Chains A and B, each alone.
Chain A
Amino acid sequence: MNENEIIAKAQKGDRAALSKLVKMYEQTVYNFAYKICRDKEKAEHTMQETFLSMVKSINQFSGKSKLSTWLYTVVSNHCLMMARSNKKHAYISLDDESALIDPKNITDWDIAPDKFAENKELGGILDEVIKKLAPEYRVVFMLRDIQGFSTEETAEAIGLSVPAVKSRLHRARAFLRNELNSTFGYEKRL
């Protein structure tokens, strides 16, 4: 049975089909929620709310976009909503775009991305670095660069204009790169 057939069964109230959809996407949704929230409890909560939305709205799913695209959109907006309700955390301002790129601060990177998953210490560094990035930038970076959404799809998913997505992506990439430069860059500056 393919995904469309499972969705059609779920739309007719077949609970086993709903359960099958949950199992098909729980890993994807949890992974994505964790990457944005950077917190196990928040990621679990986001995943639960995302699948609850799916169960409640499966009848309205038209199939025009992929189910995974719809799920990523729900996760993104839920994470943004949680971040807006928790304004205790102050993030580094990225308003000064010109300060994000300094041609004097360019180094060669000593990194083998293929072996990255084996290194837990580096995993902790990634965690600390992305936590410094404000959620509204984090979500754009994750949708566009990590999940492979187009700029237009990203804009539609989180209700931004295309220029706003481009600006946030630009700043997020430059910020993360700068933060990781002290870990991966050779000491000798060019």
Chain B
Amino acid sequence: MKKDYKITCKDVMNHICDTLGEDLNSPTCTTLKSHLDSCESCQKYYKSISHTILVYKKDEWEISSDTHNKLLDFLGLEDCD
């Protein structure tokens, strides 16, 4: 007899960490996705992981003109600037 397996929030949260950005519509994801759709706690976890990625995407560092000049000097390409 097949034993019923109860999915916990921790299972779903682990799954979110594993598969974010990948295909959540694959057959193996269906049960977990169904839990995610109806569980407020897991939805909040999903959102916090998504936002973690988003804030680091928006974390931009610009090169200064001094760093640019040092790079061309280092490469011996300063005369091509």
A binds B: yes
User: B67 touches which one: A44, A103, A111, A166 (CB < 8 A)?
Assistant: A44
Q: A51 touching B80 by the CB < 8 A rule?
A: no
Least CB separation from A130: chain B residue: B56
CA distance in complex: A47, B69 (Å)? 12
Q: Mark A57-101, 1 if CB is under 8 A from B, else 0.
A: 000000000000000000000000000000000000000000001
In the complex, which of the residues A52, A55, A109 contacts B47, with contact meaning CB atoms closer than 8 Å? A109
Interface residues on A, range: 35 or more
Q: How far is the CB of B25 from chain A (nearest CB, A)?
A: 18
Q: Is the CB of A26 within 8 A of B63?
A: yes
Residues of A within 8 A of B59 (CB): 35, 116-117, 123, 126
| A22 B18 Cβ-Cβ under 8 A | no
Q: Number of residue pairs across A and B with beta carbons under 8 Å? A: 127
Most chain A beta-carbon contacts within 10 A, residue among B48, B51, B60, B67: B48
A30 contacts B63, C-beta separation under 8 Å: yes
Measured between alpha carbons, how far is A6 from B62 in the docked complex, in Å? Answer: 24
| B80 touching A19, Cβ below 8 Å | yes
Q: Which residue of A lies closest to B63 (CB)?
A: A30
Nearest Cβ on chain B to A157's Cβ, whole angstroms: 17
Known: A18-B80, A31-B62. 15 other contacts (CB 8 A): A16-B80, A18-B77, A19-B80, A31-B61, A34-B61, A35-B59, A48-B71, A55-B75, A103-B9, A103-B41, A130-B56, A146-B56, A170-B14, A170-B17, A190-B44
A residues neighboring B (CB under 8 Å): 15-16, 18-19, 22, 26-27, 30-31, 34-35, 43-44, 47-48, 51-52, 55, 101, 103, 106-109, 111, 113, 116-117, 122-123, 126, 130, 141-142, 145-146, 166, 169-171, 173-174, 176-177, 180-181, 184-185, 190
* B binding-site residues for A, Cβ under 8 Å: 8-10, 13-14, 17-18, 20-21, 40-41, 44-45, 47-49, 51-63, 67-68, 70-72, 74-75, 77, 80-81
